Amino acid sequence: MGVEGEKRYALLLACKDSEYVKEVYGGYFNVFVATFGEVGERWDLFRIVEGQFPDMNELQNYDGFVVSGSPYDAYGNDYWILKLCFLLQTLDAMRKKVLGICFGHQVLCRALGGKVGKAYSGWDIGLRKVRIVKDFSPCGFLEGFDDIPPALTIIECHQDEVLEVPVGGEVIAYSDKTSVEMFTIGDHILGIQGHPEYTIDILNNLIDRLLTNGSIEKGFAEDAKSKLEIAEPDRKCWEKICKMFLKGRWN
């Protein structure tokens, strides 16, 4: 039973905890809550990659949902991915706030009628400068947020991307690598290709794992890691953007 007036959010976790993240952070759930959560809120965890989904009769009790990244393809037809697409369509019809991160960004696009696939330019791993579209239609959640810089650095780790946003969707950020870094639908759907929640150490460990399992080459991994030593992501600004979207405020 929740506390009356308590804000309630759900993390739809589409990946399994790595040993590193479990040891250092206690799991990805803690990473997300530390980034997006605030005192006095309730956050529930659903390991959707393992088939754990929220009760459809409970959806109206949530103020917002966050869909995480995943090693799976957003265009795949695994049962849990198809079930997630149906859930996202339901949440869209209810106009519930949904924030999609990386895989979550892509699967939101797919579920709502857009197109996703392999990135034409291959893997993007490391820090990426994302440029905010100057003349996009004002989003409700960004009204009054005047201090967003024209470009922000974010951690990226993906080889798939949004190729075409759904009808009614609007691209609000892009990079020299990826044409759809962020998109919105109304004021209740936000997709972000990068990882606002990631820290440099989490990405370094992920690069090691991708190298070990043969997903990337040694030279590529070394180059990505070397670039992480000379720059930092704009985590505080991304945190503000995500909190403004989910809650209408950031402090």
Q: Is 197 a catalytic residue?
A: yes
> From CA 33, how far away is CA 41, in angstroms rounded?
10
Residue of 156, 197, 222, 239 with catalytic role: 197
Query: Using CA atoms, how far apart are residues 32 and 246, in angstroms rounded to an integer?
Result: 13
Q: How far apart are the first and last CA of the chain?
A: 26
β-partners of residue 182 are 173, 192
Cα-only R_g, the chain: 17
- From the list 102, 109, 157, 242, the catalytic residue is 102
User: How far is the C-alpha of 80 from the C-alpha of 53, rounded, in Å?
Assistant: 9
CA nearest neighbour of 158 among 229, 216, 238, 208: 216
How far is Cα 210 from Cα 217, in angstroms, rounded to an integer?
Answer: 9
Could you say which of 161, 195, 229, 232 is catalytic? Answer: 195
Catalytic residue positions, numbered: 102, 195, 197
